[in-house]
Amino acid sequence: MATAQKEKILFVDDEESILDVASEYFSIKGYQVFTAKNGVEALSVLDREMIDCCFTDINMPEMDGLELAENINKRDNTIPVVIMTGYPSLENTIRTLKNGVVDFLIKPINLNQLELCLKRVINQQQLFVENILLKKEIEGKARIESLNLELLQKIEDLQTLNHIMNDFSAVTSSAGVFNRLVEMAVEITHASESVFYIINEAVTQPFAVAAARSGTTGAAVSAIDLLNISARIPNYMIMDVAGDQSPLLISEGNGLHGFIDEIKSVMVAPLSIRRKIFGVLSTINLDGNSRFAEKDLYYLTYMTHHAAYAIENLALYENIYENLFSTIYAFVKAIGAKDSYTEQHSNRVTAVSKILAKRMECSPEELDILNTAGLLHDIGKIGIRDDILLKPGKLTDEEYEIIKTHSIIGANIVGQLGLWEREQQIIRCHHERYDGTGYPDGLKGTAIPLLARILSVADVYDALASDRTYRKKMEEARIMDIIQHGKGSFFDPDIVDIFMSAFATGEIHDAVQCLACSNPGPK
């Protein structure tokens, strides 16, 4: 069996006798021995051979031992160098130690002593090399661990993004998208609260249509909560984000103008459909140590992008009618939150209009149009300032002019997506008068769409038959007088006749009463 190759040793000395003795002794012991008479020769040996240990004299011609040690150290600091000298000095000792010399032998040197030194030095060198390898291995492991962590984080990110995408694809209505959006924002960014506002160019302020709080996933917040939660973020911030269509992150919200003290961190992301702003999603962190980071904003923006696709897809390919309706009806619910009269009034006007339309033998399609237009006819009031809309007393002329803009605002909102042209027309014309003295266009007679003429009678009837903050509801006989009196001036005479006969049967009264007790909603 072949014995393992022993170490290669280099002896450097200008005294040949020393080289001969060492060479013979260590060769017999099985080492491979190389010799050199000075530093220059030694370096040329090192060029050819992988030397495991070098013993060198100090004083030699051409290149002395100290310079040699320095050269070896520069080439490969794992080769141990042992100095052999007959004249040790403190200065030499210090120099040699600086150059990686591992031991110092004083001549005359005993061969046994030399061998012991060799074994010790080689052993140390092996430990040194092993130590270096071990260090590299540890560094490698740490790197792998950090790569693994990075990978896990990326997988988690992808899962989150996937979760966002799948969640929206499962929603079947626009209102569902808004609700899912706010719930997801709270869940994924660990926010305290989230609100989705619809932005419409016809309205000067954002309109909150959905909100969620942490810990209440799946439970819809009440209309009052919706108002309270949405009021925490100043309107200017929502409108700024909507205007720039770029997201906003404020990690530390304390002390910022317009914020309540409890708000620690804020994110706002726009939701645009075909580059046109449609809404804004906001999240806030109250109290605690949690703060939003860039990554949370990335998630929030990803959510609004996918919500936009979902809304667009729903509107384009599935239930166009119902989804647009649910989008717009969110406005009606929002009006109801601040002005419950408008919402209930809209329901009653729709019911009465449909009774009249049926009696006039309108088609099922016309009844559908009337249903939508009736529920949304005053939707433009969301664009009217609260101090005017909710004013308890009589309006000034100027305030009345502002209120009158609601029919145009409403028509613009409904027409925003380029659909529902007939509904849009009816909403625009519901305050036109038969004799041409109405608004906004002063249309006359049959130039006013039939369904708008029907809606106008039902609208006035319900307004007079309702309690308002500034007056009590009127007696029925008085209402009938007013409507009769408006025949041909305010109203289409034929429709007034039909209203009178329907009223006489009690059908109108019953429909309104029925709504008052069951409050059935939009359909």
Which chain residues interact with Fe ion by CB under 5 A?
378
- Cβ distance to Fe ion smaller for residue 181 or 479: 479
- Cβ distance to Fe ion smaller for residue 70 or 378: 378
For residue 477, give Cα distances in angstroms to 217, 473, 482, 501. 51, 12, 9, 14
Q: In the bound complex, what is the minimum distance in angstroms from residue 377's beta carbon to Fe ion?
A: 6
Q: In the bound complex, what is the minimum distance in angstroms from residue 282's beta carbon to Fe ion?
A: 31
- Cβ distance to Fe ion smaller for residue 366 or 378: 378
- Cβ distance to Fe ion smaller for residue 136 or 468: 468
Asked if omega into 449 is within 30° of 0 (cis), the reply is no
Q: In the bound complex, what is the minimum distance in angstroms from residue 337's beta carbon to Fe ion?
A: 19
For residue 9, give Cα distances in angstroms to 34, 55, 405, 502, 519. 6, 8, 103, 121, 103
Show Cβ contacts of residue 212 under 8 Å, excluding neighbours closer than 6 positions. 179, 182, 183, 185, 186, 193, 194, 221
- Cβ distance to Fe ion smaller for residue 41 or 378: 378
Q: In the bound complex, what is the minimum distance in angstroms from residue 459's beta carbon to Fe ion?
A: 6
Q: In the bound complex, what is the minimum distance in angstroms from residue 249's beta carbon to Fe ion?
A: 41
Q: Minimal CB distance to Fe ion: which residue? A: 378
Paired tokens of 75: 């080439």
- Cβ distance to Fe ion smaller for residue 184 or 495: 495
- Cβ distance to Fe ion smaller for residue 268 or 460: 460
d(CA 349, CA 345): 6
Q: In the bound complex, what is the minimum distance in angstroms from residue 478's beta carbon to Fe ion?
A: 21
Closest CA to 105 of 96, 95, 117: 117
Closest CA to 19 of 48, 41, 47, 50: 41
Q: Are 490 and 434 in contact (CB under 8 A)?
A: yes
For residue 54, give Cα distances in angstroms to 46, 81, 87, 135. 10, 5, 19, 26
d(CA 114, CA 9): 12
Q: Are 25 and 69 in contact (CB under 8 A)?
A: no
H or E segment at 393? Answer: none
Q: In the bound complex, what is the minimum distance in angstroms from residue 261's beta carbon to Fe ion?
A: 41
d(CA 175, CA 181): 10
The angle at the Cα of 164, spanning 163 to 167, to the nearest 5 degrees, equals 80
- Cβ distance to Fe ion smaller for residue 193 or 378: 378
For residue 140, give Cα distances in angstroms to 130, 135, 144, 147, 148. 15, 8, 6, 10, 12
**Residue 170 CB coordination number (10 Å):** 9
- Cβ distance to Fe ion smaller for residue 57 or 378: 378
- Cβ distance to Fe ion smaller for residue 70 or 339: 339
d(CA 229, CA 261): 14
Q: In the bound complex, what is the minimum distance in angstroms from residue 490's beta carbon to Fe ion?
A: 14
Alpha helices in 57-110 (DSSP H): 65-75, 90-98
